[in-house]
Amino acid sequence: MTDKSYRLYPYRWVVLAVFMFINLTIQILWITYAPITGVAAGFYQVTDLAIGLLAMTFMLAFIPLSIPVSWAIDTYGFRLTVSIGAALMGVFGIARGLVGADYTLVLLSTIGIAVAQPFLLNAWTKVPAQWFSIEERATAVGLVTLSNLVGTALGMVLTPILIEQFSIPTVQVIYGGVAAFSAILFLIFAREKPATPPCPPGQEVRALMLDGLKHALKVKEFWMYLIVSFIGMGIFNGVTTWVEGIIRPRGFTPTDAGTLGALMLAGGVLGAVLIPPFSDRQHKRQRYILLGFVLAAPGLLGVAFAAEPWLLFVSAFAFGFFLISASPVGMQYAAEVTHPTPEGTSNGLIQLFGQASVVFVYIMEALKTKDGAFTPALILAVGLLFASTFLIVKMKDPLMSAIKHNL
């Protein structure tokens, strides 16, 4: 770069790293009970649905908090706002372990952790916008998505292993300690923005939150992506929440459930790393979102019907790779088509619609067969993936030349 008024700072990777770490740890706290649903239900003497509620609480809390938190991010900056969420996560994460033998107190502590989540998730595009050039932003969002998936995968894999050696409360204390440590690192190392902008003058300018919100809701393509995101996150959250119940009727164990979840998320990690850079280089978003939804469907069918472990695990990997790869590309697409809406606002609306998809988690439970199989719900999910493609093909990429001049 020859223009001294803007530059990219190496410290952007430090800020991104500590932001990724807190997103990783809150996902561990979210998913920790899912792979041990049956075991936890027995420990607390409650139903499977009561254990599922510990994960669903995150989605339910997100709905009323998303817009206010997005306003705070865009008004007061991500560092202050995200720090509040990180602190809540650390405090209630440890608290959940300390009261981990009592289901009611565990649920109350989980609500505290759930309140923290929108403070983290709604800044996914804000941090890259403050520190990265436009050519790197989808990649940066992809890395945050990666951390989110790694956290979920760790919770899926480690929890069934740890409960063989420790009690459920002790495992929660361990996870809470890691969450508190990640929060401390964020408080120490995060910075709001670099000394000079990471992009040419004009690209960093954003409208006020309320004006930006009004503008975003007038953009047809943005509404299309909100619906697509609602479907995609609903299916992902549903499969993740009920992972053990989905495969239990076919004779698979909680350890198998943890492995399935981990492979699904490992595929998502690879997808989030490999696909967004192609989107950035080609300045194309729509084609990669479409690719992700179309190719996720066969993998989901395998998760629904596979009786052999190898086919189940391969299907889970493919499902995660393609569905999750569409998420960071889609978030950057939304930030571009809604310009000059602030990134925190557009991201917050996407996350809001995605978390509102908790309704699909309930639908999956309601559609279970008498023997406990989730097959009808998974067939419905495949149909919704294909239905989404009709909206995606109508979404048009914003002109990159216009973005570079007007962002």
Please report the pLDDT score of residue 343 as a whole number.
Answer: 64
Show the 3-state SS of 226-279. HHHHHHHHHHHHHHHHCHHHHHHHHCCCHHHHHHHHHHHHHHHHHHHHHHHHHH
SS3 219: coil
Is the Cβ–Cβ distance between 122 and 70 less than 8 Å? yes
Residue in this structure with the two tokens 């510990």, named with its chain if needed: 54
Q: Can you give the pTM of this predicted structure?
A: 0.72
Q: How far apart are CA 153 and CA 90, in angstroms?
A: 20
Q: Which two tokens stand for residue 29?
A: 């706290």
Q: How many CA atoms lie within 13 A of 168 on its CB side?
A: 22
Question: What is the DSSP track for 178-191?
Answer: HHHHHHHHHHHH--
Long-range contacts of 361-370 (CB under 8 A, 24+ apart): 361/52, 361/55, 361/56, 361/59, 361/234, 361/237, 361/238, 361/241, 361/242, 362/56, 363/238, 364/238, 364/241, 364/242, 365/49, 365/52, 365/242, 368/245
- List, run by run, the mean pLDDT of 10-residue segments along the chain (407 residues): 64 94 95 88 92 88 86 88 96 95 96 95 82 78 80 86 93 96 96 75 50 76 90 88 86 85 86 84 88 94 91 95 88 82 70 74 85 89 93 81 45
The whole-angstrom separation of Cα 299 and Cα 169 is 35
What lies within 8 Å, CB to CB, of 166 at 6+ separation is 174
Q: What is the largest CA-CA distance in the chain?
A: 68
- Predicted confidence at residue 399, as pLDDT, reads 59
pLDDT at 228: 92
- Report how far residue 355's alpha carbon sits from residue 360's, in angstroms, rounded to the nearest whole number: 10
Mark 146-164 as b/e (b = at least 16 C-beta within 10 Å): bbbbbbbbbbbbbbbebbe
Rounded to the nearest 5°, which phi and psi values hold at 55? -85, -40
Task: Say if CB 329 and CB 285 are below 8 A apart.
Answer: yes
The identity of residue 385, as a single letter, is L
Q: How high is the pLDDT of residue 342?
A: 67
Q: Could you tell me which residues come within 8 angstroms of residue 236 by beta carbon, excluding any fewer than 6 positions away? A: 323, 324
Provide the phi-psi class of 193: left if phi over 0, else alpha when psi is between -120 and 50, else beta.
beta
pLDDT at site 200: 62
User: What's the gap between Cα 58 and its chain centre?
Assistant: 11
Rounded alpha-carbon distances, angstroms, from residue 272 to 143, 265, 288: 7, 10, 11
| Predicted local distance difference test score (pLDDT) of residue 212 | 65
What is the second-level CATH architecture of the domain 12-193+205-406? Up-down Bundle (1.20)
Establish whether the linkage from the previous residue to 340 is cis, with ω within 30° of 0.
yes
Closest CA to 259 of 393, 159, 144, 391: 159
